[in-house]
Structure 1
Amino acid sequence: MAAKSIPNKPRYDYVKRTARKILLSNNINSLPTDIDLIFKANNIILFSESEAEQIAMSDLPYEFKNNKDIQAITQKRIIQGKSIYISIVKDRNRVPGNVRFSKAHELGHIFLKHFEEFDLPSSLNISNSHEYWVLEREAEMFAAELLAPTAILRACNCFDKESIKSLCNLSEEASEYVISDIRRDYHLMEREKAALECQFDDFIRNKKYLLLTSPAFCGNCGAPLKPADRYCIMCGFKTTNNVNIDKVFLYPSTIQLKSTGRVYYCLRCGEIDLPLSSKICNVCSAPLYNLCTSCNSKLSGNDRFCGSCGGVSSFFQSRLLESWAEVQNSLNSVHKNQILNYRKINFWDYIIEKLLDKNKLDVHRALFGSCGYDDCGKLIIAFESESNNLIDKDVILAEINAICLPYFDTTYDDIDIIHT
């Protein structure tokens, strides 16, 4: 087959989409990306510079070893009719973050089929040839998306260089490259975004990324602290430099707010028809915004205290949020639903969140706090206690299928509600 012509410009959508497919197919569900696992899972041979020299029992070629512009090389070999890729990455006197980026860069050349579709000369010449700049740029873009997937950085609200550096285990140089790349408005199909976010759901929803990005943790309740926090937003404890790392605890987000900081519906009585100008529910007077009761600052939905002044939040004062100790006890206890003989729907929380996005507030309110299970195509929805809501099973099933079909290519034939 004749070689294709090298594109005139980088194929942004194709590159990003390919990187996401590799993350999905290799079941990468947390950051930093396990780059060595991808090499191993795809039978791509990887050597460090020192390993390659040890195997060859001699120095690597001078043109590779002494060229500072070349940090890695990949070559394709046909063995017994199969394509075998061998990558060698320089590791001497290099920071680990740069080595990781070089590895991901080489994977880019492989998975983007640069060796298969284009007539490439020796890999040693590519970086110095203007003709092949497009392919180098594509490999760089692939590496950035593989190590710092845009959808996941956005879900973790991670956009600054230091956070990306810590979260993705990159060097400062590689982190700056990721930032410049993430600012581009790349097209992201909703289904692709959903698949990637679902695979990372536990990492995102349970805030495991904070273990890597938070500068400190509360010595009283173990909650992650932000650099500007003077008080812990979970327990109100005044922050100090003496943090007991053994007490680190990640508190999941349970209350979602609109971009304005307002609830989607009343958290106490479930009222949906709320006056736009009102700050409290017109039925039960519960707060619609989580504000500091001392300085009136607008807080996130799960803040119990104000990080600036230590004041109690309106949600916590109104008992719309449990105390940090109650949350810990609840999460540390064995959930009854875990003993059910059904397959748990791993993306259930994601489905519930999508109901808000689609303005299905009645359904979201009815299903909030539930767990979803699959019993051979039958949807089982489990609640810890008897629900006060009158649940229309047909409506629930229709709305769940309306989300599952386009996002996950699956539907359920029947539905049952149980209480544990």
Structure 2
Amino acid sequence: MISDYSKIDFEHIRRVAYQWLSMFDIKNFPIRIIPLFGRFDRITLIPYTQAAAKERITINELISKVTRSDDAATLKRADKYFVFYNDSTYEKTVERIRYSIIHELGHIALNHFRDERTLLTRSAMSNEEYEKLEVEANFFAAEFLSPKALISTKWKVSEIQAVFRVSKDSATKTQQFILRNPWFQNRIYSEIDDKQYKFYPSRSLDTLLPPCCTLKQAFKTSGFAFCKKCQSLTRVSPKQSKVYCCVCGERLENVFFDDGHLFTIYDAEVRNMKTYSSIKLNDSGKAMECPQCHASQEEKGEFCDICGTYLINRCTGHPEKGFNYNDFGEPCEEGKILGGRSRYCRFCGCMSTFYQQGILLEYKEDVTSEKNPFFPIVENIANQHPF
């Protein structure tokens, strides 16, 4: 632990963070990390999965032999920096990945490599010196991702989380500082006070992942495909040659993401991703409540005994009109039972029984994401900007 925090010039670090925000003209929050690094001439961002694959080693070997960190690390070669980061959303939350990457950017921005050491590690310096640099990089990351100068005392912890995509712990510390130091909002920072900022409250990754309809289907899927037409994710099975969006029926190509490495698609599309209404199903794929008359259902039987609605969402085998829910035609072999939000079969693109019966609306008519916004954010949050 660092013994004397008075040796750290926090105000200087804050100004450096704001200078970098201004230098790269960052006006939208949450910051998109991957496009940001694409603008750096001498800094390259490399996910662990990519580095391990290129070197033909495991990620554990990469960590033990190269990065010495489970989160992120920076290598300096000549006048260039290589920032490696753990992109596993199995192991890390999106918020932690974002923070770890910007923490490494902090080491660069604060000139922590000025002594020409190529890897910032404990072995290269004393514990206290190392801890001091870590505290400085942490403070830079906090100010860069969620600048306190842009947050008023009215913001809740949950709102700071949603707007800046930081952890609850980080958002709590930010709010506590602002509440304890009301004078801070009267301080002018020339690097950022003349900008027109836009905020895009966003949901956490786990709330955007489409649910499986059965436990069996969960084990049979290995990733997701993203649809740019309706901005949603569709589950993908291993070796699935064709994939159709389960929400809008669009044929999807070359947009597959392993379910353990979704940081890339999240960082690129989170502002646009939409949620659509879904019917809650049991492990057999049957609606637990009739979506038409709302009567509770027993385990046995496929039809509602009150109104006769068919209660299992299946591929109809019909690409167009003509479906009769007492005659399923020839559904595709693999996609027979579908998820609770599927309008279309992800294997063949044919319509689902729920969609044909009008239980699930056409995606353009499904206004779930508009009536139930990503977050109960304060109305017109931009007006709370302290400047």
TM-score normalised per structure 1: 0.42
More helix by share: 1
**Larger RCO (CA within 8 A; separation ≥ 6):** 2
Q: TM-score, normalised by structure 2?
A: 0.46
